[in-house]
Homo-oligomer: A and B are copies of this chain.
Amino acid sequence: MSAKQKPSRKSTEKTAADGMVAEVLEGNTRAIAKMMSRAEAGFGESHTAMAEIYRHAGNAHVIGITGVPGSGKSTLVCALAQAFRASGRRVGIIAVDPSSLFSGGAILGDCVRMGDLATDDGTFVRSMATCGALGGLARASLDTVDILDAAGFDVVMVETVGIGQDEVDIAEAAHTIVVVSAPGLGDEVQAIKAGVLEIADIHVVSKADKSDAQETASNLQSMLALGLSGKNRFGWQVVVLLSSAQKGDGIAELAASIDKHFQHLQDTGELSLRRRRILETRIVKTVEDTVRSRITADCEQQLDALLDRAETRDIGPQEAAQQLIQNLKI
């Protein structure tokens, strides 16, 4: 946004940022998309806009939807979005899963960010690409949730693949965590969900019309009966639901269960604990992201010199890291 485009407004960065924040808070789609691009880029040194966004966030119900590739997460997210829209709520969707229908699967290896696919005024979809080496995805995703929250979306769904440390961290940074399992995906694929199953508040077995859906549901029930979920500290009973997104079966029940969970969080006071934990994750991820970008921005020469020394095995990577940390201009 330059002074030329809006001659009536001063072009100082602060004013431009303030203007954009105001537009985000009004729910302006273009401003939201722009702010998200800034979040992905890391905001440079100016965090004033994001701080302002944060001040206005905190009203949305953030739902993490996770599961292995092919489990039918995106189809489920679509169906849920329709259900929430039908009850008059505005719905934001963030797809962090490269195999998501929303991101279209950047199948040729290109780092494609699909544009924002706004189906109606009350829905906003954003795909986060796993672009660029060495991180920032989790921090950017969590900032993006905040932007939708501040923009007045009542529900923000974050779809992530249930594999990979960053991706699971993102899924966990939600108020309600839905883990999607598909029947008959095979042991090898299901095994990868180790560590993901236990973060579920709600389990959904998708593709319920398949013959082995009930068996998958029973397996999940048995697992819960064995007490392998640590979620019931506040008395929430983890549920296992069946759904067929394409037929629309089970979607209303799932939406109701998600709402019930949010109500439970509010009633028991668990919500504030979860908010605090999510905030901690965000802060830690932001620290990491900041440190990482400082290394490349401020310490390139020093990194080169340290690499020279480490190459000849004069120092190890640990000592190089220590020296780098000492000299970070923070």
Contacts and interface: CB of A to CB of B under 8 A. Distances in A.
A307 interface: yes
Interface stretch (A8-16, A27-35, A240-248, A273-281): A273-281
B280 A307 contact: yes
Contacts of A330: 325-326, 328
A51 B186 contact: no
Q: Is the interface of A mostly helix, strand, loop or mixed?
A: helix
B324 A107 contact: no
A169 B133 contact: yes
A195 B280 contact: no
Given A98-B191, A163-B161, A280-B307, A313 B109 contact: no
Interface residues of A, number: 89
Given A69-B191, A142-B317, 20 more contacts: A55-B313, A69-B189, A70-B186, A97-B192, A98-B194, A105-B192, A110-B194, A133-B281, A134-B169, A161-B192, A163-B164, A272-B311, A276-B307, A276-B311, A280-B307, A283-B306, A283-B307, A287-B324, A291-B325, A328-B330
18 contacts: A50-B318, A51-B316, A54-B318, A70-B189, A99-B189, A105-B194, A106-B194, A108-B194, A109-B197, A110-B228, A135-B288, A161-B163, A164-B166, A165-B167, A276-B307, A283-B303, A283-B307, A283-B310
